[in-house]
Amino acid sequence: MKITMIGTGYVGLVTGTCFAEFGHHVTCVDKIEEKIAKLRDGIIPIYEPGLDALVRKNVNEKRLRFTTDLEAAVPDADAVFIAVGTPTSRRGDGYADLTYIYEASREIAPHLSGYTVIVDKSTVPVGTARQVHRIISEQNPDADFDVASNPEFLREGAAISDFMRPDRVVIGVDNERAEQVLRDIYKPLYLIETPIVCTTIETAELTKYAANAFLAVKISFINEIANVCEAVGADITALAKAIGMDGRIGSKFLHPGPGYGGSCFPKDTLALMRIVQEYGENVHIVQAAVEVNAAQKARMVKKIRDSLGGSEAGKTIGVLGLTFKPETDDMRESPSLSILPALFEKGAAIKAHDPKGIEEAKKYMPEGIQYVENAYEAAADADALVLMTEWNQYRALDMERIRDAMRQPVFVDLRNVYDPETMKNLGFKYTGVGRK
Ligand code: UGA
């Protein structure tokens, strides 16, 4: 099949590349010339494990190409995927900004030729596919096309394996012709018996928000229970293991931490709250998850402050990890972006390390934060060392070396990576999340 992908961000680039790997012919389009020029030279603008090799392979095998020329990329396509950004609107009302989606629709419309399925891949409010349909029909009344919704469920850092071995594929269509095109595109997944949930467009659009909101709720739930554990002297690790063994609950997404971040959960929970308001409905549980998440980040500031004896002023804090999760350079909505500035403003010196995120972090962190080459440099002369993001390289540190490098052996483990008893025996004053 011939596929055109509009937008080469995390979603568009991974999806386009994986479709090429399936054997389809994919043209990825982006307006940013510099980005396209780099992609043509094999330079990937983001860090996503395995993506660079997969891009190179499919470019070499002539199934994947990059262009800024939308006009030339659309006419031949069997399907045009829209994978442009839908950030939270600058109006501050929580609504997703659909400017780029509508702009892409207007630009695609005049170049459609033969039957084409326009697929919304970006996370968009219910009703967006119908709007896309309206815009294209108005611009090009003769066009032979359908609009479909095909939400993505990729996690950053594991996006390629999530794409190649998904739990399910959701297709929202309103006729069999469009359904068949999407089924053909995903045919390689039939071999591994991936369930395809074929539904209405509105259901597919809402499914994405419901999935992300549920996961955000699950994280906020376990964070709140972790706080209760701290109050009553219980242990969240054993508790999460025990409740997760119940198949109805499931063991995943029960890791407490500094709160969820990233480009999806914070944005999508707010957007869902905004969408339902328009229909006079409520999502109280999602709203509570958002509030708990904000409180969790504030709680982490207090946790670090308490570990320093009640004040961070004049103290040096080493930080391990800045990105919102490991295996990405993405800093969007990372908990570190609210926790570290709060400490810095109150007079703490901060020395931070991250394997991939430092360049991105510099764009958002206050000036004056120091960035170092490795975990041991972050620990050197620090009054406390905070494990913020659970990168693998922080999981097996030489803790005696860390302890000896620090001014005082205070370790604040916001991801519960280390064993409290072992850390205590090594002479650390250890604080985790939801642990005694
Ligand atoms: C999330 C969803 O997991 C994907 O299914 C979805 O496709 C994607 O959003 C999206 O909408 O595009 P992502 O944001 O990449 O993926 O990352 P997650 O692995 O879900 O983690 C999100 C945040 O939750 C991170 O800050 C992570 O540290 C936190 N988290 C996750 C926890 O604090 N505890 C957990 O148990 C799991």
Å from CA of 265 to ligand 1 middle: 7
Determine whether 264 is an active site residue: yes
Query: For all residues of the chain together, what is the average pLDDT?
Result: 96
Superfamily for the 215-431 domain: NAD(P)-binding Rossmann-like Domain (3.40.50.720)
Q: What is the pLDDT of residues 228-249, one digit of tens each?
A: 999 999 999 999 999 999 999 9
Q: Average of pLDDT values for 123-134?
A: 95
d(CA 100, CA 393): 38
Assign 387 a pLDDT band (cuts: 50, 70, 90).
very high
Q: What is the mean pLDDT of residues 259-272?
A: 95
**Rounded Cα–Cα distance for residues 336 and 416 (Å):** 16
Name the residue at shortest CA distance from atom 10 of ligand 1: 264
- Flag whether pLDDT at 264 surpasses 80: yes
Tell me the CA–centroid distance for residue 183 and ligand 1, in Å.
27
Atom of ligand 1 nearest to the CA of 261: 26
Q: Encode pLDDT of 174-215 as tens digits.
A: 999 999 999 999 999 998 899 999 999 999 999 999 999 999
Instruction: List phi, psi (to 5°) of 216.
Output: -65, -40
**Residue among 206, 219, 249 whose CB has most ligand 1 atoms within 8 A, to mutate:** 219
Confidence of residue 95 (pLDDT cuts 50, 70, 90): confident
What distance in Å separates the CA atoms of residue 134 and residue 361, rounded to the nearest whole number? 40
- List phi, psi (to 5°) of 353: -125, 145
Helical packing angle, 236-244 and 201-232, nearest 10°: 140
**Distance in Å, CA 346 to ligand 1 centroid:** 30
Of 18, 28, 229, 264, the catalytic one is 264
| Predicted local confidence at residue 382, as pLDDT | 98
Q: Which DSSP state fits 136? A: H
The percentage of residues in the chain with a pLDDT greater than 90, rounded to a whole number, is 96
H or E element at residue 180: helix 176-185
Rg (the chain; Cα; Å): 23
- Which atom of ligand 1 lies nearest, measured to the CA of 328? 15
Structure tokens at 298: 């504030």
CB of 264 closer than 6 angstroms to any ligand 1 atom? yes
Distance of alpha carbon 268 from alpha carbon 160, whole angstroms: 22
How much is the pLDDT for 342? 98
Task: Confirm or reject: Cβ of 19 under 6 Å from ligand 1.
Answer: no
CA angle 68, 204, 327 (to 5 degrees): 60
| Alpha-helical segments (H) within 323-428 | 336-345, 358-364, 375-379, 399-405, 420-425
CA of 6 to the centre of ligand 1 (A): 24
Which pLDDT band holds residue 119 (cuts at 50, 70, 90)?
very high
Task: Give the pLDDT score at 91.
Answer: 74
At residue 327, does pLDDT exceed 80? yes
Looking at the predicted structure, is the pLDDT value of residue 251 above 90? yes
Q: pLDDT digit string (tens) for 212-233? A: 999 999 999 999 999 999 999 9
46 Cβ neighbours under 8 A, 6+ residues apart:
9, 10, 13, 328, 329, 330
What's the pLDDT band for 96 if we cut at 50, 70, 90? confident
Q: Answer yes or no: same fold for 2-199 and 215-431.
A: yes
Q: How far is CA 78 from CA 1, 9, 121, 190, 226, in A?
A: 6, 21, 15, 20, 50
> Which of 324, 325, 390 should be mutated for ligand 1, with most atoms under 8 A from CB?
325
Q: Does ligand 1 come within 6 angstroms of the Cβ of 261?
A: yes
Return the residue whose CA atom lies nearest to atom 34 of ligand 1. 255
214 lines ligand 1 (CB under 6 A): no
In this prediction, residue 135 carries a pLDDT of: 98
Q: Is 266 in the pocket of ligand 1 (CB under 6 A)?
A: no
User: Do 102 and 108 meet the contact criterion of CB atoms below 8 Å apart?
Assistant: no
Residue 436 has pLDDT above 90, yes or no: no
**CATH classification number, 2-199, choose in 3.40.50.9100, 3.40.50.620, 3.40.50.720, 3.40.50.1000:** 3.40.50.720
Please tell me the predicted confidence (pLDDT) of residue 87.
82
pLDDT at 92 over 90: no
Helical pair 128-139 and 99-108, crossing angle rounded to 10 deg: 30
Residue-range domain boundaries for the chain: 2-199, 215-431
Query: Quick one: which atom of ligand 1 is closest to the CA of 154?
Result: 7
The pLDDT value recorded for residue 89 is: 78
Whether 123 contacts 129, CB under 8 Å: no
**Distance of alpha carbon 313 from alpha carbon 188, whole angstroms:** 58
**54: its two tokens:** 């997969």
Q: Is 116 helix (H, G, I), strand (E, B) or coil?
A: strand
Dist. CA 375–CA 368, nearest whole Å: 19
pLDDT category at 88 given cuts 50, 70, 90 is confident
